[in-house]
Amino acid sequence: MKKILVPVDFSEASERSLEFTTNLFKEDPIDIVLLHVVTMPATVGAEYTMVNAQLIQDLLTEMIENAESKLSTLAEKYAQENVKFTKRVETGNLTQWFKYDVENLNPFMIIMGTTGATGLKEILIGSNTERAIRFAKCPVVAVPASAEMKDVKNIVVAYDDDEIGVTLLEEVKNLQTLTNSTIHFLWVNTPHELENENVVTQNLQELTKENKFENFTINVRRNFNPYDGILNFSHEVGADMIAMFTHGRTGLAHLFFHSLTEKVANHSNIPIFSLNVKKNKPKKSEIKETVA
């Protein structure tokens, strides 16, 4: 049973990510881990510490019980036969709990909501998640609050020949199998990174052949900047998801290659599938074993 980690803060954006999750996995048996971290506001502690420590504990207990009740309500609302819900309410530091879950649960995927209008810096549970997300080795799907809930049938894969490796392509194939979708490989030619379009097309043809892709298209578009090219093409083909690959440099606000994924997500109303390139690069020992 696949584990899907869905952090929630009970906002509209986080509920949209849960709705997307249950719609994406309609048949596969999954365990949705709903994670909510209760953090006591610093001002509350400063105000009540000198008065009555019991008041703080009572408030914390009330917040935990309230969160547990809300998680149960969400689980009931989105219940379906193939879905098991694991409800987790923790207290303390969100980043630490997120890292703990990523390392110990080994989730198949992380799905989380974004506000969209202000981009990934305003991911549903704030800057803590921006820092925590770099620990993820699995794919992360950012779901804008404005995203329309529908089946994923067309996926645009933004192609970067310096970064796409076997592991990344396997994840794309897994996503295609899951959704029974058409993959649209896209290279955006810009004045800043001008490439021979025939060579790019040939490279993509060889890549798809070597990795035995089916039901796909190969596309080259010209634009002054790559994120406009990606968004325009996604609109052209009626894309339901955009897949991009990240470098994992400094968290969600800056980990995307040339900040491209961040810019696309800031202006996209469809989910963004991202995979950390750095976390998925094979070790030298693995490369030697493969060659041998």
| Nearest one of 22, 273, 61, 18 to 157, comparing CA atoms | 273
Residue 238 backbone zone (phi > 0: left; psi -120 to 50: alpha; other: beta): left
Give residue for tokens 């194939």: 173
Give the pLDDT of residue 181. Answer: 95
Low-confidence ranges of the chain (pLDDT < 50): 117-129, 132, 248-258, 282-292
What element of type H or E holds 77?
A: helix 53-77
Task: Record the tokens describing residue 228, joined without a space.
Answer: 């406009």
pLDDT on residue 52: 67
pLDDT at 128: 43
Tokens of 148: 């329309």
DSSP output for 16-57: HHHHHHHHH-SSS-EEEEEEEEE---HHHHHHHTTT-HHHHH
pLDDT at 165: 61
Give this prediction's pTM.
0.81
Q: Supply the pLDDT for residue 183.
A: 95
Please, what are the domains in the chain?
1-147 (3.40.50.620)
Give the CA count within 13 Å in the CB-facing half-sphere of 53: 0
Q: Which two tokens stand for residue 17?
A: 């990510």
